[in-house]
Amino acid sequence: MDDTPVALDSYEAMAERYAEAVRTKPYNAHLERPALRALLPEVRGFRILDAGCGAGINLPWLLEQGAREVVGVDVSPRMLALARQEAPSPQVALHVADLGRPLDFLVDASFDGVFSSLVVHYIRDQAALFAEFARLLRPGGFFVFSTHHPYADHQWHGGSYFETRLVTDEWRMAGEPMTVSYYRRPLSAVTGALAGAGFVIDRLTEALPTPEFQRLDPEGYARQMEKPSFLCVRATCCESEPPH
């Protein structure tokens, strides 16, 4: 099987455009980001992994919340080059790495939390990814992430809701078309992968648009109030061995 990361070429091609758009695009700035950030627990003094940190929009924010150190990982060198400019702090370390493979350069139980915004759907073997996060977290550490809502992916792509499969979307990014591939899967596949890795879900939310979204894009706001686009989860790691 070809194990090239499915989204690498897309993010390499659109890195600058993505980095600019993600700051202000209502779907990010006034829908996904506030919903995900609302799930972050107290992080004062913590060491946090930003898994798939992209161009780094959450890196300075995590430091502002009091994190002692943030380690950003992303498969796209161009996205990480932008993250370096976004967060030039000595408290931020950045690594080019594929989350579809073991993160051998990171030590067991060396993180208090894993944060990941809109990344886990690019990974075929989510069970292995979540097990790797469990390895990196201390007992009681948190995993906060967002992903496409399985309902939205199913509405868009059809087929069997219960199938996990690679799909491709066409996005408009700063006015230009861009194709991006990712894995769509049912909700039970996500929660099952979490449970299998020993995580317990504390909160699961479906992002709702903010009043600012309504002001900027009233029609998009009405759609988001009817149909969810993003799922956000906070889970706690692994006080005991995962169930067999």
Ligand X SMILES: C[S@@+](CC[C@H](N)C(=O)[O-])C[C@H]1O[C@@H](n2cnc3c(N)ncnc32)[C@H](O)[C@@H]1O
The binding site for ligand X (CB under 6 A) comprises 5, 7, 11, 22, 52-54, 57-58, 74-76, 79, 98-100, 117-119, 122-123
Cβ distance 154 to 148 under 8 Å? no
Shortest reach from residue 241's CB to ligand X, in Å:
27
Nearer to ligand X, 1 or 218 (CB): 1
Shortest reach from residue 214's CB to ligand X, in Å:
22
Cβ distance 232 to 28 under 8 Å? no
Nearer to ligand X, 85 or 140 (CB): 85
Tokens encoding 240? 């005991």
Looking up tokens 């989510």, which residue turns up?
Answer: 126
Shortest reach from residue 200's CB to ligand X, in Å:
24
CA distance 222 to 98: 37
Shortest reach from residue 5's CB to ligand X, in Å:
4
Nearer to ligand X, 54 or 244 (CB): 54
DSSP 32: I
Q: Where are the beta strands (DSSP E) in 85-136?
A: 92-96, 111-117
Counting Cα atoms < 13 Å in the Cβ hemisphere of 37 gives 15
Q: Are strands 137-148 and 230-237 parallel, antiparallel or unpaired?
A: antiparallel
Q: Whose CB is nearest to ligand X?
A: 54
Nearer to ligand X, 99 or 194 (CB): 99
Nearer to ligand X, 1 or 140 (CB): 1
Q: Which amino acid is at 111?
A: F
CA distance 19 to 30: 16
Shortest reach from residue 164's CB to ligand X, in Å:
16
Nearer to ligand X, 1 or 244 (CB): 1
Cβ distance 5 to 97 under 8 Å? no
Cβ distance 88 to 67 under 8 Å? no
Shortest reach from residue 73's CB to ligand X, in Å:
6
